[in-house]
Structure formats: C-alpha cells, structure tokens
Structure 1
Amino acid sequence: MTDTGAGREDEALLITAVEGHPKEKQRYLLYVNGSREPLTSVHEDLLIRYRLLKGREILIDELRQITEEDSDHRVYVLALSYLGARPRTSKEIIRYLARKGIEEAACEKALERLQQERLVDDDSYANRFASQRMRTQLKGRRLLRQELEQRGIAKTTAKEAADNLDREAEREAATRAAIKKWPHVKGESRDRKRKLMAFLLRRGFPSDVVKQALGAAIEAERLDEEGPALDN
C-alpha cells in the first residue's frame, strides 16, 4: 500500500473508492486520487466515525492520525480476542501482546482501554479466582495468594483477595480435603497425622484450620468404622 506519509501534510487526497478487505472482516481498503492500488485499510468503526466515504477529501495529516488510531485499534481487538477464552489479568494481557511483537506503548494503551471498559479488572479477577479455587480445588488462602502473584496480580491485591476469603468456607474446604486424603495416608497413627497436616499446610491452609480439619477427618473415619447404629 502507498505510504500515507508521502506528500505535504496540508495536501488533500480524494477518496475515489472504498472496498471491503478480501481477507479481513470489518476492514476496508481506501483508494485515493483514482489509484488502482489501495492507499491503506481501516477498521469499520473508524470508517464510520470519520466518514471515510467515496468523494470525501482528507488531509494527509488527518489520514496519518487515523492510521495511527487504526493501529491502536488492531492491538485492542487482538487483546479482546485473547479475553474471549476466559478472564485475564493485566499482566497476562501485556505478556500476550508482547509475544505478538506489539510495542510496549501500544500494549499499555490497549490495556488502559480494556480497564476503562471494565473488561480487565485485577481486583475482581483476584477475588473471583481465589473464591472459586478454594471451593473447587480445595486450596487455602496462602497458596491462593501465591498463585495470584504468579499470574501477575500485584502483591497487595493478591493479599487483599486472600484476606477477603470467607473463613468458614475455608474451613469447609480444608475439611473436605482432609477427609478425602486421610484414607490414603499410610503409617502409624502419629505419622499419618503428621503427613496429613503437612499436606494441608502445603495447600495453603492456616495452622488452626489444619488442626480442625485433621480432627474432622479422624472423626469421620471413626464413624465410618463403627458403621450405622443398630436399632434396639
């Protein structure tokens, strides 16, 4: 395509044709001054916003600004498609765009727009992630805080999300994990208790919660061994 930087900035170009891009949806080719080769392509949103229609005159300086905005829009759409699979953190968005060869400034601009539109919200992500993982994967607040930081969540945000977890829900998760694990722990009684406590601590549960969960697992096993009470 023709370099939009050619010519004087106050020079006016006449749009003589607008055609849909043959390979990219929602993009249009712009032809100027009767040329058979497209000067550039723009997204449909910009085409409508700037009324880039046949017969419109446009200054080179204006066209340059539009193509720069279109470049930003490309990065935004790329990030938006990445978000389609599941919620992402700010750091994940930046890393993804960087892998695509996008310059840092363009990455930050796209992220800022996504944040303004509330499509990327690290606080909400952290709270939702921690609560869901605790419930479905039976993990405690200390491990969940580490996992959030590994996903690029700021330490203060990760800590706040972990601190916001419901204590009773965490005790229930620890108890479920303990009861599930206890029958598979081998060794003498004292050794089994030590192993289970170490297991629960590695899963990020606080020590007081671990002790309660251990007691619940032992009691569940006792009741299971006794079997149902017989009616007199």
Structure 2
Amino acid sequence: MKTEFEKGMEYALYLLSLQMRTVKGLEDKLIGKAYSTETIERVLNQLKEVKYLDDVNYAYYFIRSRRLRYGDYRIKLELGRKGVSRNDIEDAYDLMDEEEERLESPEEIVSNILEKKIASTNIDWDRIKSEYKYKYKIYQKLASFLASRGFSHDVIKSVLGKRLADEFIDEE
C-alpha cells in the first residue's frame, strides 16, 4: 500500500512528465487532488532539491519561447500570474542576457511583427499620405496592437515612426 507521499510524488512526476511547471502551478494541482499540506510541502521540496522543479529554469524557457512574439512587460506579467517571483524572473532574464548577442534586439522583433501586421491590415497608403486623421488612426491601431504584445512605448514609437517614414510620412 502506497503512502500519501508516494501517491503525491507519483502524481507530481506524472504532471511534470507532461510539461514544465512552476512551483505554484504544481502546488495548485496537488491541492486540487486534496493532498495534505505536509505531503505537498514534502513533494515540492524534494522535487526542488533534485531540480525537477525550478522556477528560474521555467521562466528562462518561457521567455525564450515567447520573446519573438511578445515584449518583456507581457512576459513578466504572465510569469507573475503563474506564481514565479520577481527575483526568479530577473534571474531568468540574467541568463538570457548571457546569450543576448545571438538574439534579436527588441527593435528587430517589433519590426518583424509590425511587417506581418501591416501585411494583414488593409491600409490605403495614398490616403495615409494626404489625411492626417487617417494616418493617426492607423498609427494608433498599430501602436495599440504592439502595446498589447507587451512592447515598450519607446520601442513602438521608434519602430513605427521609422516604418511609416518609409512610406513618405514624416513621423520621426
């Protein structure tokens, strides 16, 4: 007959075999299965000790998988919602900085996303050159889209201004 701890450990390992999880995420799953607080604490501590459960590692891979689509603000917000502490998030970003020379800059990422959005948006380029209200509306639409992706205002303004300047609009 298995003890509650053994059952809890088996369940936790099963969940971790499906996907990476945060400490908080795994804890919530164990609470949902009505394991005792003592059992949950023992399971989590043992998994952290053997590095099967590591919020810094989780955050690092989470950042890597989303960095080309979302800005740092949104990524940090999502990690916070998953229960990752600010210190663990910053440690994960420090690990990312060690590889930074191989990664694209935020401006390059925003530029790539912006090009895809412009391609899928119906924009009347002749009208945008002659009507300020229309130009402003398109600028706001694209800026809002990029902001919803979590990119900083400075990066959005810079990239969007340069891109629209390419269309003979003096945004800069």
Interval of TM-score (by shorter of Structure 1 and Structure 2):
0.7 to 0.9
Match in the other structure for 1:180: 116
Instruction: Give the superposition deviation at 1:162.
Output: 5.0
- Could you say which residue in structure 1 is the equivalent of 2:9? 76
Residue in structure 2 matched with residue 203 of structure 1 by the alignment: 149
Residue identity matched to 2:45: E
Cα distance in 2 for partners of 1:161, 1:201 equals: 23
TM superposition shift of 1:185: 5.9
Match of 1:191 in 2: 137
Q: Which amino acid aligns with 1:107?
A: I
User: For residue 80 of structure 2, what is the aligned residue in structure 1?
Assistant: 149
Q: Between Structure 1 and Structure 2, which shows a larger proportion of helix residues? A: 2
Whether the aligned pair in 2 keeps the contact of 1:90 and 1:120 (CA below 8 Å) is yes
TM normalised by structure 2 equals: 0.77
Q: Which amino acid aligns with 1:208?
A: D
Unmatched runs of 5 consecutive residues or more in structure 1: 1-40, 43-69, 224-232
| Structure with greater contact order relative to length (CA < 8 Å, sep ≥ 6) | 2
Pairwise CA distance, 1:93: 0.5
Q: Deviations over 1:17-70 (max 9, x none)?
A: xxxxxxxxxxxxxxxxxxxxxxxx24xxxxxxxxxxxxxxxxxxxxxxxxxxx3
| Counterpart check, 1:111 vs 2:44 | yes
Distance 2:85 2:165 in 1: 40
Match of 2:33 among 70, 91, 100: 100
Of 142, 151, 171 in structure 1, the residue corresponding to residue 107 of structure 2 is 171
The one-letter amino acid of 1:143's match is R
Higher strand share: 1
Task: Please tell me the residue identity of whatever aligns with 1:105.
Answer: E
Unaligned runs of 5+ residues in structure 2 are 129-133
After superposition, residues 12-91 of structure 1 pair within 5 angstroms as: 41-42=1-2, 70-91=3-24
Which entry has the higher C-alpha Rg, 1 or 2? 1
Q: Distance in 2 between matches of 1:73 and 1:175?
A: 51
Q: Distance in 1 between matches of 2:59 and 2:122?
A: 33
Amino-acid identity (%): 25
Provide, for residues 78-122 of structure 1, a one-character-per-residue CA deviation record: whole Å limited to 9, x for no partner. 100011111000001100001011111111110111111111110
Corresponding residue SS for 1:118:
coil
What is the CA–CA distance in structure 2 between the aligned matches of 1:96 and 1:86, rounded to whole Å?
13
CA distance in 2, matches of 1:198, 1:168: 22
Deviations 1:111-134 (A, max 9, x none): 111111111110011111012111
Q: TM-score, structure 1 length as denominator?
A: 0.59
**Equivalent pairs, count:** 153
Q: CA deviation at 1:160?
A: 4.5
Residues of 2 paired with 1:174 and 1:153: CA distance? 26
Deviations 1:148-202 (A, max 9, x none): 0111111332344457564843322211111111241657222211221122122
Q: CA RMSD in A?
A: 2.5
